[in-house]
Amino acid sequence: MTLSHASSVLQLAVSPAIIISACGLLILSMSNRLGRAIDRARLLSRERPAGAGPRKKNIDEQMSVLIHRCWLIRSAILFCSICILLTAILILALFILTSAEVEAGLIVAIIFCGSIVSLAVALIFFTCDVFLALKAMETEIGGEQEAGGPAPRIS
């Protein structure tokens, strides 16, 4: 393998590495959101009264939304991780196939498409969580007003 051939192989492998970096940042953001949702669920479970009433009903509704949000975030993290795995396989395949001077464009295209589809699915789940977070906030504010709690402040 010549130096110019080796440098072109490395150039092919570096481009997908950007996807890995971006997915890593997405996973960081998603895991922070997951941690906050779990912390909120733990807090609500401690606040949940034993009997029936509007506060208990509101907390149960919030817990239901939080469980759904955790499922969405977990799924988004899973698909982002699959994207990273496929991209790592893509880099390895590019390096091996180019080094061996084997023409396998279809294999590379399939792996790349799988990686991007996984990323798209992860972003769909992540976006659903963002919208569901707003619903959780509306449920909480609505429940506080029903239970005689403080009205929301508008600045």
Note whether residue 155 is domain-resident: no
**Plot region of 103 (φ>0 → left; ψ -120 to 50 → alpha; else → beta):** beta
Any idea which of 23-27, 55-59, 101-105, 141-145 has the lowest mean pLDDT?
Answer: 141-145
Note whether residue 75 is domain-resident: yes
**pLDDT confidence band for 71 (50 / 70 / 90):** very high
pLDDT of residue 155: 43
Place of tokens 């149960």: 60
pTM above threshold 0.85: no
Note whether residue 154 is domain-resident: no
Q: What is the mean pLDDT of the chain?
A: 83
Place of tokens 């590379």: 108
| Number of domains within the chain | 1
Residue 118 or residue 52, greater confidence: 118
- Domain that includes residue 12, residue range: 3-145
Which one-letter amino acid corresponds to residue 7?
Answer: S
Mean pLDDT of 105-132: 93
**pLDDT confidence band for 144 (50 / 70 / 90):** low
Note whether residue 13 is domain-resident: yes
Note whether residue 7 is domain-resident: yes
Note whether residue 14 is domain-resident: yes
